[in-house]
Amino acid sequence: MTIVTGVARMFSTAPVTPMGPDGKMALADHLRELRGRLLRAICVLIVAVVVALFFYKDLFALIKEPYDLARAELPNGTTKAVTSGVASGLLLQLKICALTAVVATSPYWLYQIWAFIVPGLHPHERRYSRAFLAVAGPLFIAGVATGYFVLPKGLEVLIGFTPDGVENLVDFDHYFSFFVRMLLVFGVAYQIPLFVILLNLAGVVRGKTLGQYRPWIILGTFVFAAAATPSTDPFSMLFLAVPMTLLFLISEIVARILDKRRGLTQYDGLDDDQASDLGYEPDVITYSGLSEDDD
């Protein structure tokens, strides 16, 4: 009962963030605040894992669906999902529920990270970070949805290489790891254009520079898609490379607009060694009261 009361008190009050008159905090106060926010996130994760256990069958069916769709397109007897080991079923159930809890509670623990970092940011940094969080989430979800959509085709191509007369036994634990990597690659890859815009806002790269190296960047995007997709089939590569290319082109347009708004385009076309026109004329210094013998 004491533990339940302590947890309830922890969630009913906000973490203490004592700041001095200069807006700074002592290291010990930082560590106490971090501990409080970590405990909150862990408690929410544990509750989410327990809740996910009640929906395990639905979650299992959702994860297995891409494999079932791929299996339906293959000849009968080509592949079969299996598990190996006495405790493999239990471990698989815990892995699926833990992953579901992490994804489902991501808004909460991401907010805890944000609330811990934001007091040390300047006002303009807070504005940029809010925009980053508002765009990063939908982009990641879009990438995960794309990966889930193309996964059946990738599985069909890979399992289709199984020779005739041989049955491909797919260890479901390995399939689950492959499933997670596939969706994670697509989700993270969709964040790359966002980081391009952040680099532009930081003054590291300009829209004009992106335009100059556009063919090489597009080529690198396709190479990255071919190497990053775990399924290694051309369909998954194209489904990753084409949206990434479109997002890059959008980020280039946004970078050019930002450069224009900040007045950086007025210096385009100037040589690196060319002096800027500052409209400044040096004052003529005259000396009076000195004789010819004075140095």
Measured from the Cβ of residue 138, the count of other Cβ atoms closer than 10 Å reads 10
Q: Using CB atoms within 10 Å of the CB of residue 210, give its burial: 0 to 12 exposed, 13 to 18 middle, 19+ buried.
A: buried
Q: What are phi and psi of 168, to 5 degrees?
A: -90, 110
With a CB cutoff of 8 Å and minimum separation 6, the contacts of 114 are 129, 133
Report residue 283's pLDDT band, with 50, 70 and 90 as the boundaries.
Answer: low
Summarize pLDDT for 173-223 with one digit per residue, the tens. Answer: 889 988 988 888 888 888 888 888 877 877 778 888 888 888 888 888 888
Summarize pLDDT for 149-170 with one digit per residue, the tens. Answer: 888 888 888 888 888 888 888 8
pTM of the model: 0.70
| 65: Cα separation from own chain's centroid | 25
* Nearest partner of 237 among 220, 248, 251, 223, judged by Cα: 223
